[in-house]
Structure 1
Amino acid sequence: MRAAQSRLANHASVLWISTAPFIPEALPASQALRVLGCEFDAIVFDAFSGLAVNALAAVSGTLRGGGVFILLSPPLEQWPQFPDPAYQRFLPYPYTPSAVKGLFLRRFIRLLQEPISPKPIIQFASQTQAEVVAELVKAATARVLTADRGRGKSAALGLAASQLIAQGKTVLLTAPARAAVEAVFKHAEFAPDFYAPDAVLLNLPRADVLMVDEAAAIPLPLLLKLAQAYPRCVFATTLHGYEGSGRGFVLRFQQALSQLDPHWQSLRLEQPMRWPFNDPLEALIYRWLLLEVEAPEWQGDSQQPVEYRQLEPEQLLENETLLRQLFGLLVTAHYQTRPSDLQQIFDAPNLSIHVLQQAQQIVGVALLSREGGFDPELSAAIQRGQRRPQGHLVPQTLSFHAQLAGAAELVCERIMRIAIHPAIQGQGWGQQLVQHVFKYAAWQAADYLAVSYALSPELLQFWQQSGFILARIGHRQDTASASRSAVQIRAISTAGQALVNTILMHGPIDPASVSRN
Structure 2
Amino acid sequence: MTPNDFIQLLQDAAIKRVVRFPVFVAGDEVTVSDFLALASPSLIVSNALPGATPWRQVKRLLGQETHSLALDIRQGFDVEKLCAIAGCVKGGELVYFLVGEEVSERRFYQRFNTFYHHADAAYFSQHGGMNLPQSISSSQHVPEYSSSFTSSGMTQDQQRAVDAIKQVLKGHRRRPALIVADRGRGKSSAMGIAAGQILSSDVKTVLVTSPSIANAETLFQHALVDSDCERTNKYRATYSNGSQLKFVAPDVLLQDKPTCDLLLVDEAAAIPVPMLNQMLTSYSRIAFSTTEHGYEGTGRAFSLRFRSLLNDKAKGWKEVSLHQPVRWAQDDPLERWLFDAFLFDAEPLYPDNIDEISVRIVDRDALLKDESTLRQLFSILVTAHYQTSPNDLLQLLDDESLSVFGAFAHGMLVGALLAQKEGGFDGALASDVVAGKRRLRGHLLAQSLASHTGTVDALTSVLIRVSRIAVLPLFQRNGIGTLLLNSAETYAARDGVGVMGTSFGVTPSLWQFWSSQGYIPARLGIQRDAASGTHSLQMVKALSSAPTWFDDIQALYSSNFYAQLSEQFSQLDPYLSALLLSAMAEPASLSEAQNRQVALFASGALGYDLVTGSLSQWLVSWLARQTKTITREDKGCQLMVARVLHRQSWDVIANEFGYQGRKDTELAMRQWIAKHH
Would you call these one fold, judging by a TM-score over 0.5? yes
**What is the CA–CA distance in structure 2 between the aligned matches of 1:410 and 1:481, rounded to whole Å?**
32
**What is the CA–CA distance in structure 1 between the aligned matches of 2:118 and 2:89, rounded to whole Å?**
23
Please say if 1:177 is aligned against 2:212.
Answer: yes
**Aligned pair in 2 of structure 1 residues 280, 507: CA closer, same or farther (>3 Å)?**
closer
**What is the CA–CA distance in structure 1 between the aligned matches of 2:411 and 2:115, rounded to whole Å?**
24
Structure 1 counterpart of 2:157, which letter? T
Please say if 1:3 is aligned against 2:3.
Answer: no
2:223 counterpart residue number = 188
Structure 2 counterpart of 1:445, which letter? G
- Secondary structure of the equivalent of 1:149? coil
Of 430-439 and 130-139, deviating more is 130-139
Structure 1 residue 17, shift from structure 2 partner: 2.3
1:143 counterpart residue number = 177
Residue from 519, 524, 530 that aligns with 1:473: 524
Within a 5 Å distance, the mapping from 1:270-309 to structure 2 comes to 270-296=323-349, 298-302=350-354, 304-309=355-360
**What is the CA–CA distance in structure 1 between the aligned matches of 2:425 and 2:83, rounded to whole Å?**
36
- Secondary structure of the equivalent of 1:64? coil
Asked if the contact 1:46/1:71 (under 8 Å) is kept, the reply is yes
**Aligned pair in 2 of structure 1 residues 265, 439: CA closer, same or farther (>3 Å)?**
same
Structure 1 residue 499, shift from structure 2 partner: 3.4
Within a 5 Å distance, the mapping from 1:172-321 to structure 2 comes to 172-189=207-224, 190=227, 191=237, 192-296=245-349, 298-302=350-354, 304-321=355-372
Asked if the contact 2:463/2:498 (under 8 Å) is kept, the reply is yes
- Secondary structure of the equivalent of 1:345? helix
- Secondary structure of the equivalent of 2:394? helix
2:543 counterpart residue number = 492
Structure 1 residue 295, shift from structure 2 partner: 2.0
- Secondary structure of the equivalent of 2:163? helix
**What is the CA–CA distance in structure 1 between the aligned matches of 2:507 and 2:45, rounded to whole Å?**
39
**What is the CA–CA distance in structure 2 between the aligned matches of 1:35 and 1:264, rounded to whole Å?**
35
2:458 counterpart residue number = 407
Asked if the contact 1:300/1:358 (under 8 Å) is kept, the reply is no
Of 273-282 and 421-430, deviating more is 273-282
What are the superposed Cα offsets for residues 432-479 of structure 1, whole Å, 9 maximum, x if unpaired?
111011111112222211111111111011101111111110011122
Structure 1 residue 211, shift from structure 2 partner: 0.4
Residue from 498, 501, 510 that aligns with 2:551: 501
Aligned residues: 481
Asked if the contact 2:269/2:296 (under 8 Å) is kept, the reply is no
**Structure 2 runs not aligned, ≥5 long:** 1-31, 121-133, 136-154, 228-236, 238-244, 563-575, 581-637, 647-677
Please say if 1:380 is aligned against 2:380.
Answer: no
- Secondary structure of the equivalent of 2:47? coil
Within a 5 Å distance, the mapping from 1:440-479 to structure 2 comes to 440-479=491-530
1:113 counterpart residue number = 117
- Secondary structure of the equivalent of 2:68? strand
2:23 counterpart residue number = none
1:416 counterpart residue number = 467
**Aligned pair in 2 of structure 1 residues 185, 219: CA closer, same or farther (>3 Å)?**
same
- Secondary structure of the equivalent of 2:356? coil
**Aligned pair in 2 of structure 1 residues 452, 180: CA closer, same or farther (>3 Å)?**
same
**What is the CA–CA distance in structure 1 between the aligned matches of 2:449 and 2:279, rounded to whole Å?**
35
Structure 1 residue 201, shift from structure 2 partner: 2.3
Structure 1 residue 370, shift from structure 2 partner: 0.7
Structure 2 counterpart of 1:60, which letter? A
**Aligned pair in 2 of structure 1 residues 16, 230: CA closer, same or farther (>3 Å)?**
farther
Please say if 1:161 is aligned against 2:195.
Answer: yes
Asked if the contact 1:176/1:197 (under 8 Å) is kept, the reply is yes
Asked if the contact 1:174/1:196 (under 8 Å) is kept, the reply is yes
- Secondary structure of the equivalent of 1:370? strand
Asked if the contact 1:44/1:70 (under 8 Å) is kept, the reply is yes
What are the superposed Cα offsets for residues 209-264 of structure 1, whole Å, 9 maximum, x if unpaired?
10011112222222122122221101111111123424222222221222221111
Computing the radius of gyration from Cα coordinates, the structure with the larger value is 2
1:94 counterpart residue number = none
Asked if the contact 2:298/2:383 (under 8 Å) is kept, the reply is yes
**Aligned pair in 2 of structure 1 residues 187, 16: CA closer, same or farther (>3 Å)?**
farther
Residue from 36, 39, 43 that aligns with 1:15: 43
What are the superposed Cα offsets for residues 356-389 of structure 1, whole Å, 9 maximum, x if unpaired?
0011210110111111011111111111111111
Please say if 1:131 is aligned against 2:160.
Answer: yes
Structure 2 counterpart of 1:257, which letter? L
**Aligned pair in 2 of structure 1 residues 505, 38: CA closer, same or farther (>3 Å)?**
closer
**Aligned pair in 2 of structure 1 residues 8, 115: CA closer, same or farther (>3 Å)?**
closer
**Aligned pair in 2 of structure 1 residues 170, 137: CA closer, same or farther (>3 Å)?**
same
**What is the CA–CA distance in structure 2 between the aligned matches of 1:247 and 1:415, rounded to whole Å?**
26
Structure 1 residue 4, shift from structure 2 partner: 5.3
Asked if the contact 2:299/2:345 (under 8 Å) is kept, the reply is no
Asked if the contact 1:245/1:332 (under 8 Å) is kept, the reply is yes
- Secondary structure of the equivalent of 2:247? strand
> Percent identity of the aligned residues?
35
Structure 2 counterpart of 1:503, which letter? I
Asked if the contact 1:164/1:170 (under 8 Å) is kept, the reply is no
Asked if the contact 1:36/1:182 (under 8 Å) is kept, the reply is no
> Structure 1-normalised TM-score?
0.88
1:84 counterpart residue number = none
- Secondary structure of the equivalent of 1:377? helix
Structure 1 residue 180, shift from structure 2 partner: 1.1
**What is the CA–CA distance in structure 1 between the aligned matches of 2:72 and 2:456, rounded to whole Å?**
44
Please say if 1:48 is aligned against 2:74.
Answer: yes
Structure 1 residue 159, shift from structure 2 partner: 0.6
